[in-house]
Structure 1
Amino acid sequence: MSCKGPFTEGTVCELKCPMAIRLIGSSIITCTRPASGYAGYWDGDGEPQCKKATCPPLRAPNNGALVCDKWSSGFMCQIQCNEDYDIPSSTSLPTYVCQDNGVWNNQHVPDCVYREYGEPLRMPKNYYFTGRCRPGHPEVKKSFLDYAEARDMCPIRAYCTVENVEIKCGDEVDDEFEYF
């Protein structure tokens, strides 16, 4: 809340939710007193609530990472692959947004599969990382932040930091050789 007490009739306050969580209802409330009483109440357009979309957890891809924001409680995620791996050719760009109805815009999380030497990349360069996946991998976090900022999915820049990016690593599976 952007105002401090004492609250008298006519005091106007602006409400905001922490991080980038969506505010439902009026962001402006006014201290109002009924004509027939002394006790005041806050008057606004509906009861203000901080509401975050809640979708079920997504699994991390094998040989890759599921990277999600924490500034809006995991509203947006993407997968990244180890540099020796890629998404299957039949898969579209792996970006996930939690919709207001509690369902991800894309339910399928593909595993990252071994990429033959010289085979072209199927995703933009910032969807790949070097070395082993680990929860604090700075390259993965930085790539995700670049992605979020380029798409204006970082409404409050102060929260779009590496500390507010979460990485879930998938299993490392050696699928380079197939046995028949």
Structure 2
Amino acid sequence: MSQHVAKKSYETNCTKLQEPRNGAMSYSQWTYGQMCIMQCQKGYDVPASIDGQFVCGTSNGKWRPHDHIPECYATVYPHSMHLPSDFYYYTDKCNSSAENLLEIKENFVQALNTSKYFEYCLNNPDCQAKYVRVSCGPTSSKRERDIHVNPRPERLAYIVEIDIILPLNIVNDETKQEAI
């Protein structure tokens, strides 16, 4: 004779999740299941690919989004951010002479360095506009979302490709606490 023991409404069939390396899991039960939050030790972070929250319902006992807990990663403080950018100047004719392309490059860098949008970089030698490349040729304004729309004919454009390097200020734990 089998005995059927009724579960209380807050009990679940959820298995305990594996603790992440350099971290811990904190659980909370509620009427419809369990919630688990991934936490990492000081100097470590939850991977950017997940939000660190896991939920298991009473109906099926399965963890969502999954039951695989990744390890905590060492916190990384980058020193700079690279922002590759392309600028298009449409034209009727291309003058691809070395002199003309150099003049466009120099004018662009000068305009960028004196622009109100670039004032963060004024008086900061670590902030740089590097690897400026200028070319001229046909370009199309067709975008993927316009795939079923009649594309515009190709147009000529001067294309300025640039990598802007912005230094990031490293904030240590003491500075973070002062900011709070």
Structure-2-length-normalised TM-score: 0.34
Q: Compare the two structures and name the one with the higher helix fraction.
A: 2
Structure-1-length-normalised TM-score: 0.34
Q: Compare the two structures and name the one with the higher strand fraction.
A: 2
Computing the radius of gyration over CA atoms, which structure comes out larger, 1 or 2?
2
